[in-house]
Amino acid sequence: MRRLLIVLFSLGLAAGCVSTSDSTETTVEPLETTSTTSRSQRTTEEPIDASGSTSVPSASGESDPRFASLDPGDPGGDAMGLAAARELGSIGDPTFPGLGNSGYDVQTYAINLDLTRPELVAETTVTLTALAELDSFHLDLVGLTIDEIRIDDEPALFMRDGREVIIRPPEPIESGQTVAVLVAYHGTPEPIADQDLPFNLGFQTQSWGTFVASEPVGAATWFPANDHPQDKALFTITISVPEGTTTAGPGQRTSSTTAEGVTTETWIAADPMSTYLASVATGAFDVSIETLDSGLVIRHAVHADAAIATGTELDTTVEMIAAFEERFGPYPFESYGILVVPEQLGFALENQTLSLFGTDIMTSPAAQPILAHELAHQWFGDNVSPAAWDDIWLNEGFATWAEWWWTERITGTNNVNTARFIPLEPLKGLPASGLFEINVYWRGGLTLEALRRDVGDEIFGQILREWSNRYGGGVASTQNFLDLVEELSGAGAADLVSQWIFAPTMPVLADE
């Protein structure tokens, strides 16, 4: 998955990142939400505001009527300015037309979360490079109250419009200029509920602690973001918690200090990451850390209440990584591990370097296939991310194929001979509600299996490894994959893959 309306489990399959594993049907239960996360409490719009004032001086010391006209409720506003500003409020994703923002490229997010108080108090610095001259630009942020925005330490005007934060810098940002946008905010993060999903997206607060499940559109519930996979960035996340609480985050923990009853820990992800894959967790986690000869750090964080359910399922992680490296190329990040939370999530999610699981999947017969599925996503989805959400089969089809391959390896069987006889819908032109349907998983997996049977194991392996070589650290599209297949194995193989992706009637899988 992960973004959007995230993971659905349909037909007994986990969506989003979940897998459709085997014959086991996962019971879907909605996430519990605390009373403080009720969507009904969400503030949908706030007037233009900066530094807590409704009339903030611009850089020239006067309020700016043109920016004020961006108020969407002001019919007399500057239509040209409004249209231009709104155009910046989208990256043009066909499935989610309003998602993400254009006009700049985020370099880093430095997210500081204070979780020691009744509500979240946070500061995030978004360092971005303008791709055009910007009189204004957008960030995505859902709920929460913005206290102040500063650009290179100068106060900036801003307003809220749904999930868009429209920001007017004191002076236009020149094309190519890099600026630091500091956003100070507070409140209770409110997960995004959607009628198509049995659970909520984003930052989740539970009685035992917190965790994050954002795919596809939930990242903006806890930090201001250019919330689209296309704009990858480096992340530093610092979390303050009451002494005795454990934190978990992406990459590696680089510092931990405790003073006056507050523990502050910093997590740094060394590799570019899409916003939907960024995560943190807090609670009573048992953390195990092992550094392999290769330098890869394996660290799992299992909540104390989920430890018995987890059992020995994680013991195969190192063996699984070795097997996948042989098939897909080197593991792409500096660390990997599983976060197990004491929840019946109904899904698992491939947060980058720290896949999220609930106790339900860890206690089900599907644990091993889904562990393989989320691990495979580190190559397919996390390292090479979808250029658009409509390319989600590049995540889910690849992870499903890997899951099948692992399952056959350890059990001698898999779901290929079930999936191949089900008429599954094509893989493109998906509505938002269709991102995590079974066709994306099973027809996507069958597409790769059909390619493997056509070109043979050796060339198939070359294609998968070159996919990571070429597009790792960035995004890739379905057309990119078709082009690679043609380049490495010819037009006939590319045509076969194209049929599997687009044909209204699913092709017949050749026998081995």
Question: What letter represents residue 196's amino acid?
Answer: D
Q: Which stretch binds Zn ion (CB under 5 A): 112-120, 161-169, 389-397, 453-461?
A: 389-397
17 vs 362 by CB, closer to Zn ion: 17
- Both tokens assigned to 419: 């999936």
Q: How far is the CB of 484 from Zn ion (least distance, A)?
A: 21
CB of 8 to Zn ion, least distance (A): 11
* Beta strand pairing call for 252-259 and 209-213: unpaired
Output the smallest distance, CB 38 to Zn ion, in A: 29
Q: In whole angstroms, how close is the CB of 373 to Zn ion at the nearest point?
A: 5
Report the residue number, 271 or 374, with the smaller CB distance to Zn ion. 374
Does 213 bind Zn ion (CB under 5 A)? Our answer is no
Q: How far is the CB of 249 from Zn ion (least distance, A)?
A: 21
- Using the minimum distance from each CB to Zn ion, give the nearer residue, 396 or 437: 396
Tell me which amino acid residue 298 is. I
CB nearer Zn ion, residue 183 or residue 370: 370
Pick the closer one to Zn ion by CB: 8 or 399. 399
The residues in 460-479 that bind Zn ion, with binding defined as CB under 5 A, are: none
Dist CA 114 CA 163 (whole Å): 22
The kind and range of the H/E element at 127 are strand 120-130
Coil vs helix vs strand at 207: coil
Q: Which is nearer to Zn ion, 392 or 451 (CB)?
A: 392
Locate 240 and state its tokens: 């303050």
Cβ nearer to Zn ion, comparing 164 with 215: 215
Q: How far is the CB of 278 from Zn ion (least distance, A)?
A: 17
Distance in Å, CB of 440 to Zn ion, minimum = 9
Among 301, 370, 399, 496, binds Zn ion (CB under 5 A): 399
* Binding span for Zn ion by CB under 5 A among 312-320, 329-337, 399-407, 423-431: 399-407
Closer CB to Zn ion, residue 140 or residue 396?
396
Of 256-264, 355-363, 398-406, 504-512, which segment contacts Zn ion by CB under 5 A? 398-406
Nearest CB to Zn ion, comparing residues 273 and 399: 399
Please answer whether residues 225 and 140 qualify as being in contact, where contact means their C-beta atoms are separated by less than 8 angstroms. yes
CB 103 within 8 A of CB 137: yes
User: CA distances (Å), 386 to each of 1, 303, 318, 366, in order?
Assistant: 10, 31, 26, 26
Shortest reach from residue 18's CB to Zn ion, in Å: 6
For residue 267, CA distances in Å to 253, 382, 458 come to 4, 18, 39
Query: HSE-up of 119 (CA within 13 Å, CB side)?
Result: 11
Dihedral sign for Cα 309, 334, 251, 2, please. Answer: negative
Number of residues this chain uses to bind Zn ion (CB under 5 A): 3
Residue nearest Zn ion, Cβ-based:
17
Taking the complex as a whole, the smallest distance from the CB of residue 282 to Zn ion amounts, in Å, to 25
Binding to Zn ion (CB under 5 A) within 6-25 occurs at: 17
Q: CB nearer to Zn ion: give 342 or 397.
A: 397
Distances (CA, A) of 443 to 54, 262, 266, 507: 53, 50, 41, 10
To Zn ion, the closest distance from the beta carbon of 64 in angstroms equals: 46
Q: Is the dihedral of CA 39, 43, 45, 51 positive or negative?
A: negative
358, 344 contact by CB (below 8 A): yes
Distance CA 123, CA 111 (A): 6
Contacts within 8 Å (CB) and 24+ apart, 463-468: 463/488, 463/489, 464/327, 464/328, 464/329, 464/398, 465/328, 465/329, 467/380, 467/384, 468/328, 468/329, 468/332, 468/379, 468/383, 468/384
Pick the piece of the chain touching Zn ion (CB under 5 A) from 46-54, 158-166, 395-403, 504-512.
Answer: 395-403
CA angle centred on 225, ends 221 and 231, rounded to 5°: 130
* 161 versus 350: smaller Cβ distance to Zn ion: 350
Q: How far is CA 46 from CA 144, 165, 204, 354, in A?
A: 10, 10, 23, 35
Least separation in angstroms between residue 367's CB and Zn ion is 15
Residue whose CB is less far from Zn ion, 22 or 164: 22
Least distance CB 399 / Zn ion (angstroms): 4
User: What residue ranges in 217-368 does DSSP mark as E strands?
Assistant: 233-242, 246-248, 252-259, 262-273, 281-283, 285-291, 297-303, 335-336, 338-341, 355-358
Closest CA to 157 of 140, 143, 171: 171
Closest to Zn ion by CB, 17 or 91: 17
- 184: number of Cβ within 10 Å: 17
Question: Cβ 507 to Zn ion, closest distance in Å?
Answer: 23
Q: Which of 367, 435, 439, 434 is nearest to 403 (CA)?
A: 367
By CB under 5 A, which span of 82-90, 331-339, 354-362, 391-399 interacts with Zn ion?
391-399
Q: Which residues bind Zn ion (CB under 5 A)?
A: 17, 396, 399
